[in-house]
Amino acid sequence: MTLKNPCFHQSFIKNHAPFALHMHKKFNWHHSNGCFMNHWKLPFLNTLQKKNKKALGCYDAKCIKAMMASSNGNTNTKTYSVKALVAVKRCGGVGILSNIVSDCLDGIKQLIGSILVLELVSNDLDQKTNLEKKTIKGNVHEVEKKDDGVQLYEATFELPKDFGNVGAVLVENGHHKEVFLKSIVLHGVHNGPIDFTCNSWIQPKHHDPAKRVFFSNKTYLPSQTPHGLRRLREEELLLLRGHGKGERKCYERIYDYDVYNDLGIPDISIDLKRPILGGTQHPYPRRCRTGRKHSHADPRSEQKYPFFYVPRDEAFAEIKQIQFTTTTISLGLSAILESLDTIFIDPNQGFASFQDIDMLYKEGFHLPPLEPKWLMFLHKVIPSFIKVANDDKNILHFDTPEAVKRDRFFWFSDEEFARETLAGVNPCSIQLVKEWPLKSKLEPQIYGPPESAITKEIIESQIIGYGTVEEAIEDKKLFILDYHDLFLPYVSKVRKIKGTTLYGSRTLFFLTKQGTLKPLAIELTRPIIDGKPQWKQVFTPASYSTDLWLWRLAKAHVLAHDSGYHELVNHWLGTHCALEPFIIATNRQLSSMHPIYKILHPHMKYTMEINSLAREVLICANGIIEISFSTNKYSMELSSMAYDQLWQFDLQALPNDLIHRGMALEDLNEPHGLKLTIEDYPFANDGLLIWEAIKQWVTEYINYYYSSSSVVESDQELQAWWKEIQKVGHGDKSKEPWWPDLETPKDLIHIITTIAWVASAHHAAVNFTQYTYGGYFPNRPTIARTKIPTEDPFEEEWKNFLQNPEQTLLECLPSQIQATLVMVILNLLSNHSPDEEYIGQYMEPSWGENQTINDAFERFNKRLKEIEGIIDSRNGDNTLKNRYGAGVVPYELMKPFSRPGITGKGIPYSTSI
């Protein structure tokens, strides 16, 4: 008998697809769209199976059974029936052999006995013994198959009248493969139905003998946990923490910490050894521990395997995995890395003209046939994309970025150069000039005189009709991009690498009456190096041809610095890397029943998997960053220095960040309690709307569960969580005074709002227009390959510059392979997945079951929709020139919702790409 109109809650958290497996010694494991299978030789096929293959799906009803019995064998007749609707994600086979193997093994299993065993757990203790009540089991049979790949089953349980409310379900998988369990809904129970949102892979018991526990969607603080569930709550957290030993297996769910000791490949070449990030020498956030064997050439470093462990439920869902692969194929990534023979022979070969760059978007490259040696290179550089290596079209073609569509020459404009510091892909570095003269804080005996070469006279000659430098500073009119002190210590190191160069740089801007920024001066500095004294020069906008081209070259260097800082500091470090310890601690210290776990859970999806992919492809030795960015092999070391000198948790909150950079002042009479220094600052204007919306939602949520400071202070899980983040996850910063206390609901609101902001809106602001602005790489070069012609010029070098300045600029810009690699990656990173979950759009199931929380979330959703309208209105306001104008890309990054693809808008819950 099946349920009529069953109450089935569709999952809000989509299926996770597995990551690639390496070759195990004992078995040859195969990826099978969400399943793992042993590739065994089969001596026979059951005759019945041959005749009835349609009944042999990946999770046929005959293959999923549960033992129906009372665990204590009690024959108590005072029972009542409870029905459960179980939703399982069906696995898709890959190829005929996969299906035959799966069918046969499923048939063998059905003869052996039970496959998936469910046990109901009571909230209550036995009144007589004061011990946990015995669990109850029940049979499972198929109800229906749904078009979305979900298979529904029904189980019947006989519960004693005094069993109490069901608070948990234990699950044991006797299958030979993992099973993705989406949900369980109990009907016929007291105060029912009861929902269990699972969304997790259940491993075969020969891999993991421990029964999986799933708690109902009800939310409990630790002190409020029903007595019958307390042991399970504590034991589940112990299992997730692990014991810190051994190598992690692909099917495990253990969350633990380690330093970044897997970025180098010293066993291949000692030149590929990289520093360990994390510790006193190179402070850094911690990553998820994998426990891999250590390198022979460098015992402190882990060996690199094709398989990168992340806890099983952190892996990409099938749709997300397909999105990565499909996008990569469409761009011809395989062709770039395997077929550009001339580029690989001379990796420094640049573009001959800007017309050749334009051809990337018009006709693309017609590439020579694939060669096996480049296939090997692809496997080393981007192993996750090896499946697309045989794209036989051999045409490399890019979509025209939105900025180029609107204005082909946008990148040449000084006004656009300045505008993008407020409304571009990196709007988080611009800051107010507060002191004059500008001075370095680096040691003069090592790096040279600290005084800037940007003098008062240079500035005042650029702001004729306004006044003095002092007046401009007092009126908050001068702003700066300051990459001087962070980059200068790496100039000498980087310049020993062929094909790249580096300076320390400062770029000054003036705030005009129109509310836009006007570039005033660029200073490039080379420190004391190889016996040569410090060299520095200031470049200004000019009409004279020679000075004009030098200014353009100086801008190219600054843009390379800005690109590097954006990618390594504001993007990777500030969102991906810094968030991982919060995710690890949340899973280790907060039960899935905890209200803070539930509000953070949407903000954690896919982050650990994407971070793992970054370590595998982007930030590793000889990865995309090292190949294509000015800082080359020192990129991650520079990121560590930025963490040490600049990262503070309190400054990750948007209002604090704006105040710290001088971009806002506290003013209770202004909206959001802030007065912006630049009124038309799109990132700040729109960002504060999102910040306030998140804060209001978090405030209502937390105030519901935490009525007083004593409730916060007595929450042992919460206090352990916050302590572990500081002492372990960000242990290199544990003694810093800026860590917020966690004593009051207000403290907790600020902490959770900050984490949610960073994971969602801040990441969106620095990610989803990367292709819009960087897809045309002259606008945002990631590397400057040649020094400025005026630095110790050779006669022939200077002559070539005077005769063909455009060629000098092209030689400074990225090479063909560098440019195309970065364009592929930026396209990939700027893409929204079809299964993207946008902030405020999808509700965690537990929130819908609580009317107060449900109403608060609905208000959150409504406010986000209102914000979309406000942003549209702002983008249509012709007085806001930093977001409106002929050829100007409107600022839509803070619009919460988006369609799939490259849209330049949409705020996913999590740092998921």
Report the catalytic residues.
571, 576, 763, 767, 913
Residue of 771, 803, 789 lying closest to 901 (CA atoms)? 771
CA distance 119 to 237: 20
Distance set, CA 588 to CA 16, 257, 265, 700 (Å): 20, 10, 30, 26
CA 763 to chain centre: 8
DSSP string, 815-867: PHHHHHHHHHHHHHHTPBPTT--BTTTS--HHHHTSHHHHHHHHHHHHHHHHH
CA distance 728 to 244: 13
The answer to whether 432 and 448 are in contact (CB under 8 A) is no
How many other C-beta atoms are found inside a 10 Å radius of the C-beta of residue 313?
17
In the structure encoding, which two tokens stand for residue 336, read together? 């770039």
Bridge partners for 751 per DSSP: none
**What amino acid is encoded at 53 in this protein?**
K
In the structure encoding, which two tokens stand for residue 118, read together? 């469910």
What lies within 8 Å, CB to CB, of 16 at 6+ separation is 34, 180, 199, 201, 312, 313, 314, 315, 316, 317
CA 108 to chain centre: 42
CA distance 574 to 565: 11
In the structure encoding, which two tokens stand for residue 734, read together? 């544990």
The answer to whether 800 and 722 are in contact (CB under 8 A) is no
In the structure encoding, which two tokens stand for residue 458, read together? 């240079």
DSSP element (H, E) containing 538: strand 535-539
Q: Return phi, psi of residue 309, to 5°.
A: -70, 135
CA distance 538 to 495: 21
DSSP string, 25-75: SS--EEE-SS-EEE----S---HHHHHTGGG--TT-GGG-----SBTT---
Residue of 595, 558, 637 lying closest to 283 (CA atoms)? 637
In the structure encoding, which two tokens stand for residue 272, read together? 């590929």
CA distance 304 to 637: 19
CA distance 488 to 440: 10
